[in-house]
Amino acid sequence: MKKVFTLIAAIVLCFNLNAQNPFDGEQVIVTPEFLHFYFHGCSPHGGQVTITNYTSEDLVVNRCYAENFKVECLYEGRNIAETGMFVSIGETVILDTYAVPTAKDVHGTLCIDTDFGLFTIDIYYETTYDVDEIIPTFSLSPNPANGFVTIKGENLGSVSIFNMLGQKIENHFVEGKELVISTAHYPNGIYFAKTAQGKTQRFVIAH
């Protein structure tokens, strides 16, 4: 009788061990620890933030923000900085993140507010322009775009399109105040339009 009881106890112990949470030490991992944003000419002024959910439930990202910076966090072309998003169990998401200073600061903190806590990333920002100089003087729509973008402004002159790597992919000369560019052949992603005056705007292609 004693041997039977020992066997049952061993089976129960084994069952309890196998029923443990597979996520030993639940955690959410947000990387990197700092982002170095820059804006030289028409180069991108962004970086990537990775969020990995190693918990046993869906993670809720409420919003992303930074004092003295305008922040955009793009996931599949959608800005989730204010709308938030879900990160499923075991999922990793990559956010294309941009920050433009609203004051003449070169350092700040990106805050990612989640239901598992607040995660912070240091922001270092470099620019060859004053803050007022990076405010665009032309309009670009729609954004996100699919088949075309329309650029309107005074004295546009030439308009160049750059990809995420800062490589020029197209150049157009504008005689009037409006330019329509076909983007049907552009791969999905982030692009920059720069006028002859050096003003730059970012836009997203999402087919």
Q: Give buried/exposed letters for 165-201 (b at 16+ CB in 10 A, else e).
A: eeeeeeeeebeeeebebebeebeeebbbbbbeeebbb
State whether 63 and 147 are in the same domain: no
pTM metric for this prediction: 0.53
Q: What mean pLDDT, rounded, does the chain reach? A: 78
User: By mean pLDDT, which of 132-136, 140-144, 177-181, 198-202 is the weakest?
Assistant: 132-136
User: Are 61 and 112 a contacting pair, CB within 8 Å?
Assistant: yes
State whether 41 and 116 are in the same domain: yes
CATH of the domain at 37: 2.60.40.10
User: Are 202 and 190 a contacting pair, CB within 8 Å?
Assistant: yes
Q: Can you name the residues that pair with 71 across neighbouring β-strands?
A: 99
CA 67, 69, 58, 21 torsion-angle sign: negative
Q: Can you name the residues that pair with 14 across neighbouring β-strands?
A: none
Q: Which of 127, 155, 179 is the last residue of a domain?
A: 127
Query: Rounded distance, CA 73 to CA 45, Å?
Result: 12
In a domain, 172, yes or no: yes
Q: Supply the range of the domain harboring residue 118.
A: 28-127
Q: Is 117 exposed, middle or buried (0-12, 13-18, 19+ CB in 10 A)?
A: exposed
State whether 47 and 73 are in the same domain: yes
CATH of the domain at 184: 2.60.40.3080
Question: Looking at residues 48-76, what average pLDDT do you find?
Answer: 92
Q: Which of 63, 92, 127 is the last residue of a domain?
A: 127
Into how many domains does the chain fold? 2
